[in-house]
């Protein structure tokens, strides 16, 4: 958003103070003219009224001047006059009028038997003073704004949303000349509003944007709506990008600074707004029953998913949240963030590695968790492809340790965070998560603990995800690197993913793999192109897109189920239960133990070969381990 800074050339405050007093005296004069209908002003009448007014005129000036001084009506910058200035003027003038009304009986009964001023004059002077003081400021402001417009300093704006927020946005822009916007219209898809005017500005549907843009140059479209339809917002942004119109957005009301909206809070639309979906409705009653008053352990609490689960759990008032992670600085930052949120909930930070059985045993023995959310894992495909032993150590051994301890210490529910890369895995990371799924599922049959798995795709803005990478590449001037022109991915926001994890955890009875509705898959190259446009740049001119080739183990597209898996519906339309193959715990436990022991050899081929034996559908793609599939 381009902001034109206007140099300050303020009129001295004392001049405004004197002008205010002069305007009040003018109001008093007009009040007398009205009292005598502008005509009954013979010499005798004038002398009589002057005789009454003369002794109190100094008092009138002192009262008005004192109140203007202490009320600081002169202190505001005139060209920035707002409703707050008008309120201050009204209250200050009203207080002075109240003083005059109180002085009237005092003069009448204790001095010369004459009222301070005629009651009609007092009330007319009150109204006229307010009118003159506010009007004078408004006129100066309008002259200033029009002067700036004549210099070509304005940007033509359409506001999406003709409701309360849209109107507040319009008025905010108009009273802040530092950002000179010319609001030429409102966009609203409510058929009842089409063709009407809001403060003399037309309201049209979003279908009219293209035609509007042909008739008038549109610089910005500002989204100002409380509850928006993500699908319509995506269509609006896509239209604006095609027309080279910059899209801005007004933050939600709860994020306004001290409840007040400022034009400085208007920001560029984010790529996340193009991928967002309808707000999820949670069954808060069920979730509350599962976590309220309980001790909750979150592994991987410093990560994107773990930290968001912690934030969302606070609203359901658990007794205690154990925040477990080995990343010292991120977990410290989370502790600082959550410290003063929901003080009735105890938060305990534990530094530890989930693959360390002694440390984990101590954690379970000390805190006796009742619900475990297991989000700790290595997740970067290329890194795990080069380091299979670490994938086994953390993703498989770590899960086995936490699962076994959950069974031993009678944890009520164990909710594991898995990934769509566990479906028909083509890489070590995905295979390690699938083995973790298999182990917890098989253990569920023998344990009183309910082991539940949640499986979903990429989350927007998570550590190491594609969007932060593209943002950094754009900031550096490019190029943006895309592995393949046809590569697609599912996306979900971090809050949405965590809400579904909580929902699935509350409904799970053990042994289920919950699959989330990820919406439509997105071509990564299209995502890159939209991010370039949202940054105000042009592909091929300002920044390039470079195709680098698929990385080891990477798929062109992700799957949420394999060919042998089916789903059944739940009460939540975004959550399904995947019907997957069942496994015998004894056989799974024997193979997993053997695999865990083999990671100590650091023999990558040997380790991956065993993973492929446990997960026969694991077929390496574009990887050195593809030879093992032959």
Residues serving a catalytic function are 421
- Cα distances from 17 to residues 60, 71, 96, 366, in angstroms, run 15, 11, 16, 70
In sequence order, which residues have a C-beta less than 8 Å from that of residue 419 and are 6 or more positions away? 379, 429, 430, 433, 455, 456, 457
Please return the burial class of 53, using the count of CB atoms within 10 Å of its CB with bins 0-12, 13-18 and 19+: middle
Of 417, 406, 490, 491, give the one whose Cα is nearest residue 454: 417
Of 399, 561, 533, 532, give the one whose Cα is nearest residue 471: 532
What DSSP string describes 549-580?
Answer: -PPTT--SS--SS-TT-EEEE-SSTTEEEEE-
In sequence order, which residues have a C-beta less than 8 Å from that of residue 378 and are 6 or more positions away? 384, 390, 391, 394, 395, 429, 432
CA angle 585, 588, 589 (to 5 degrees): 80
CB atoms within 10 A of CB 420: 23
Of 161, 415, 122, give the one whose Cα is nearest residue 266: 161
The sign one gets for the Cα dihedral 610, 616, 617, 620 is positive
Is residue 175 within 8 A of residue 263, CB to CB? The reply is no
- Cα distances from 625 to residues 52, 553, 597, 620, 630, in angstroms, run 106, 9, 20, 6, 10
Please return the burial class of 466, using the count of CB atoms within 10 Å of its CB with bins 0-12, 13-18 and 19+: buried
């Amino acid at each position: 958003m381009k902001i034109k800074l206007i140099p300050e050339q303020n009129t001295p405050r004392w001049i405004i103070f004197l002008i205010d007093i002069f305007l009040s005296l003018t109001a008093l004069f007009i009040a007398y003219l009205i009292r005598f209908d502008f005509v009954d002003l013979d010499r005798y009448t004038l002398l009589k009224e002057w005789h009454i007014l003369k002794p109190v005129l100094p008092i009138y000036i002192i009262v008005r001047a004192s109140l203007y001084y202490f009320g600081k009506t002169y202190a505001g910058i005139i060209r920035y006059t707002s409703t707050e200035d008008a309120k201050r003027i009204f209250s200050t003038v009203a207080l002075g009028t109240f003083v005059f009304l109180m002085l009237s009986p005092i003069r009448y009964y204790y001095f010369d038997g004459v009222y301070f001023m005629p009651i009609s004059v007092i009330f007319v002077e009150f109204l006229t003073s307010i009118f003159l003081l506010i009007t004078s400021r408004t006129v100066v402001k309008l002259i200033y704004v029009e002067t700036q417009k004549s210099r070509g300093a304005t940007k033509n704006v359409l506001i999406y949303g003709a409701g309360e927020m849209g109107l507040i946005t319009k008025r905010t822009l108009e009273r802040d000349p530092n950002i000179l916007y010319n609001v030429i219209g409102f966009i609203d898809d409510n058929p009842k509003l089409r063709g009407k005017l809001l403060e003399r500005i037309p309201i049209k549907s979003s279908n009219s944007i293209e035609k509007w843009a042909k008739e008038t140059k549109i610089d910005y479209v500002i989204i100002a709506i409380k509850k928006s339809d993500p699908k319509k917002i995506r269509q609006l942004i896509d239209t604006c990008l095609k027309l080279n119109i910059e899209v801005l957005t007004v933050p939600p009301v709860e994020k306004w600074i001290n409840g007040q909206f400022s034009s400085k809070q208007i920001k560029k639309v984010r790529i996340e707004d193009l991928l967002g979906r309808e707000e999820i409705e949670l069954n808060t009653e069920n979730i509350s029953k599962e976590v309220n008053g309980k001790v909750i352990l979150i592994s991987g609490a410093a990560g994107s998913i773990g930290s968001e689960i912690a934030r969302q759990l606070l609203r359901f008032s658990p007794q205690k949240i154990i925040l477990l992670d080995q990343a010292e600085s991120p977990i410290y930052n989370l502790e600082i963030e959550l410290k003063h949120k929901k003080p009735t909930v105890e938060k305990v930070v534990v530094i530890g590695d989930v693959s360390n059985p002694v440390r984990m045993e101590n954690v379970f023995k000390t805190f006796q968790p009742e619900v475990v959310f297991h989000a700790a894992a290595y997740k970067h495909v290329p890194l795990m492809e080069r380091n299979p032993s670490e994938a086994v150590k953390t993703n498989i051994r770590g899960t086995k340790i936490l699962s076994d301890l959950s069974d031993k210490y009678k944890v009520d529910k164990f909710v594991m965070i898995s990934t769509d890369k566990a479906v028909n895995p083509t890489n070590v990371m995905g295979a390690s998560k699938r083995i973790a799924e298999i182990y917890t599922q098989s253990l569920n049959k023998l344990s009183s603990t309910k082991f539940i798995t949640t499986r979903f795709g990429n989350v927007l803005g998570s550590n190491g995800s594609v969007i932060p990478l593209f943002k950094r590449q754009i900031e550096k001037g490019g190029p943006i690197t895309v592995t393949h022109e046809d590569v697609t991915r599912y996306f979900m926001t971090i809050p949405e993913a965590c809400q579904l994890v909580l929902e699935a955890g509350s409904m799970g009875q053990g042994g289920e793999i919950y699959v989330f509705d990820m919406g439509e898959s997105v071509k990564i190259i299209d995502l890159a192109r939209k991010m370039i446009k949202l940054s105000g740049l042009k592909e091929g001119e300002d920044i390039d897109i470079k195709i680098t080739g698929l990385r080891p183990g990477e798929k062109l597209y992700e799957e949420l189920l394999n060919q042998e898996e089916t789903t059944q519906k739940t009460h939540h339309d975004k959550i399904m239960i995947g019907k997957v193959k069942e496994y015998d715990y004894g056989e799974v436990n024997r193979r997993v133990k053997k695999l865990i022991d083999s990671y100590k050899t650091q023999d990558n081929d040997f380790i991956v070969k065993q993973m492929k034996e446990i997960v026969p559908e694991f077929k390496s793609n574009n990887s050195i381990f593809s030879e093992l599939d032959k």
